[in-house]
Amino acid sequence: MSILEGEVFDVFARKERGDALQHIGYVDAPDIDLARVYAWKTYDELNWFEMCVVPRSAIVPVNRTDGPFAGNALGRPVVGGAR
């Protein structure tokens, strides 16, 4: 990825108090500060009660060995079983 975009950040949000925090999308950004701005501006379809961004590299899968986070397991063994 280019110097303008850096890495992937996953975006989580909940619409109302009492709602679950859900994965709603992702942005490419060179750092966490721009990721926060890009996430707020990109996912402006609802007036969220709460929104957070997480660097994708920090999301470590527990039971799966595939998908976008698989590379973050760094050889850790699979816990539980995948369906």
* Total residues interacting with another protein, rule: CB under 8 A: 21
Task: Candidates 17, 33, 47, 66: give the one binding another protein (CB under 8 A).
Answer: 66
Tokens of 19: 């709602």
- The verdict on 27 binding another protein (CB under 8 A) reads yes
- The verdict on 67 binding another protein (CB under 8 A) reads yes
DSSP letters for 24-58: EEEEEESSHHHHHHHHHHHS-SS--SEEEEEEGGG
- The verdict on 62 binding another protein (CB under 8 A) reads no
- The verdict on 41 binding another protein (CB under 8 A) reads yes
Distances (CA, A) of 19 to 41, 45, 53: 21, 17, 17
State the residues that interact with another protein by CB under 8 A.
1-4, 8, 23-28, 41-43, 45, 64-68, 70
